[in-house]
Structures are given as C-alpha cells and as structure tokens.
A and B are shown apart, each in its own frame.
Chain A
C-alpha cells in the first residue's frame, strides 16, 4: 500500500519534472514565440507583454497538450490565439519582467535589423488571418498544417496564399 507521504513526494517530483520540461521547451522554442509576437506587435513593450502572456498560456495548457500534433504547431496555435485575444484583455496582469535582449528590432539600425523591420512592415500591412497564414507558410509548414492551425480547409489555404502573394508582390 502506498503511503500518503510517498504520494506527496511523487506529486512534488512530477511537478518539478513538468517545470523543468516547460523551461526547456520554452528555451528551445523562444525564437518562434518571439517571432510571432514581433509580427503582431507595434512596439517593444507590446512584444514583451505578448511574449509573457504566450508563456503563461503555454504553461496553463501544458496538461492539455496532446502529442498527436507537433510541439511547434501547438506553440503557433497558442501564440496566434494569444495575439488574437489581446484586444479583449487590454488590462493584462502579466509579470512585468523585461526580456533579456541585446537587440531592439524596432529601433536598431544595423543591416540585419533593417531587413527584419522591412519584413515586419510588409507583413503588418496584411489582415490578421492573412498575416498568420503567410507567417506559417514562410516557416515551412505545409497547407494541411496551416489549415489545422488557422481552422480553414487546405484548398482555402492555397487560394488565400495565392492572393496574399499577389498582395505582397505589389508592396
């Protein structure tokens, strides 16, 4: 028979393991999370807030993550939904801890940052859903994966992408 104290120990151990796993996953996928937040923000502060809110939502949803989808797809889903919901929660209670960044993608003026900013400006001109689709496509996801994250059919992804590409070329 398992003693109550052993159950407690086991629970504590599992919790620690889950925390370690979360920290590891966040460190591995930080660039993906940051990129999504950057593409849907207007300034550094907004990226900072969104980034932290995405982490909170990921941590809240860790138990619900099913391994049938790829972890990167799940991250995109959480990040995009968080960006979508940000309007609803103007008063966010996110921990205000600044991100440890040596670069400011909105203000720095080196060649790389200028290029990134150019990309940001192009994508920002698109509608929310179009922005999400093009980002996922540029990241190398196939139409099925894009469709499952956005919630539209594969055929619609193709039609929509064709239109977005035309729109981007004209910019």
Chain B
C-alpha cells in the first residue's frame, strides 16, 4: 500500500518530465541572453548600497557649497557612508566567496543564514547608534538653520522624519521576512545534524 503511494508519486514526476521533454521550453534567444548575463553583476543590494554611499560622498560636500548645511555635517555624513561601505563589504564577503555551483545545500543555507543574521544585527545596532543621531542632526541642519523667519522648524522636519520612518519600516518588514526564511532553513539543517 505504502509502496503503491510512493510509486504513484514517482510516476507523476516521470509523467511531468515526459510532458516537459515534449515542450520546446527554451528558445535560442533565451540561451543567448543567458550567456550574455555572465559578466553582469546581479548583486542588487550590495551594488545599490555602494552606489548610494559613493553618490552621497560626492554630493554632500557639493551641497554644502550652497550653504544648506555645514561642512561638519557633510564630513560626518561622508564618514558614516565610508563606514557603511566597509561594513557592507565585510558582511557580504562570505556570500561572495560562496560557490553554490559546487557547494552543498546545507553549507549554502548556513552561510546565507549567517549573512542574514549579521545583516540583521547590523541594522539592529546601527539604527539607534548611527541613523537616528544622523537624522536628528540632518533635521537640525536642514530645518533649524534654514527655517525662514516666522516658520516653525518642527513643521519643516516632519516630511524628513515621516519619510525616513516609512522607508525604514517598509525596508525592515522585507528584511524581517527574509531573516525568518533563512532562520527556518537553518533550523531544518540543525535538526539533521542533531
């Protein structure tokens, strides 16, 4: 009875593969596109962080020339961005080294879970120690120093604070989902080892 049940499943897989074999599935155009992708870097998060950081390092001092904010703030922001670049590089390093063409599933899952945890810890510690003070400083520089006479600087800060909170929340929710997925796979692997 049990054998029959699993034989049936095997048959279903075999039937699926047979019907797929009759399908064209891949066009020459697709294969050509895939071959072109070899040189393209698809590491989106890392590249966008580097991009944003380098952009800020260049742009912040330039904006200072227009007297929107002080040189101290521009320098502080640049240092923070350099620190972010180094941290991003450090966190991504084990995943970069990973060759998942030759590595088994458990090792890939462990490396990935470790990466997610480090990334999570990074956000956890960097948000209160770096991001919130920077945001307060930015509000001070942007609103308090530049508020036109008779305007309450708090009103000028609100869009900046609301935007940061909303963006941060959305990013954090996506990040939390990914961390949970990685954690669940790590637990499955641990279960195998026990």
Q: Which residues of A are interface residues toward B (Cβ below 8 A)? A: 19, 22-23, 26-27, 30-32, 34-35, 38, 51-52, 55-61, 64-66, 74, 77-78, 80-82, 84-85, 87-95, 97, 99-103, 105, 112, 115-116, 118-119, 122, 127-130, 132, 135, 138-140, 148-152, 156, 160, 165, 168-169
Q: Is the CB of A138 within 8 A of B13?
A: yes
> Closest approach, in angstroms, between the C-beta of A54 and any C-beta of chain B?
10
Of B13, B20, B193, which contacts A30 at CB under 8 A? B20
Which residues from A are CB-within-8-Å of B16? 31, 35, 38, 105, 116, 119
Task: Tell me if B155 counts as interface (CB < 8 A to partner A).
Answer: no
Q: Is the CB of A97 within 8 A of B30?
A: yes
Task: Mark out the residues of chain B between 77 and 136 whose CB falls within 8 Å of any chain A CB in the assembled complex.
Answer: 95, 99-109, 112, 115-116
Which residues from B are CB-within-8-Å of A156? 192-193
Nearest residue, chain B, Cβ from A28? B21
Q: Is the CB of A128 within 8 A of B23?
A: no
Give Cα distance in the complex from A151 to B193, angstroms: 10
> Closest approach, in angstroms, between the C-beta of B178 and any C-beta of chain A?
5
Task: Tell me if B10 counts as interface (CB < 8 A to partner A).
Answer: yes
Task: Tell me if B166 counts as interface (CB < 8 A to partner A).
Answer: no
Q: Is the CB of B17 within 8 A of A35?
A: yes
Task: Mark out the residues of chain B between 168 and 182 whose CB falls within 8 Å of any chain A CB in the assembled complex.
Answer: 174, 178, 181-182
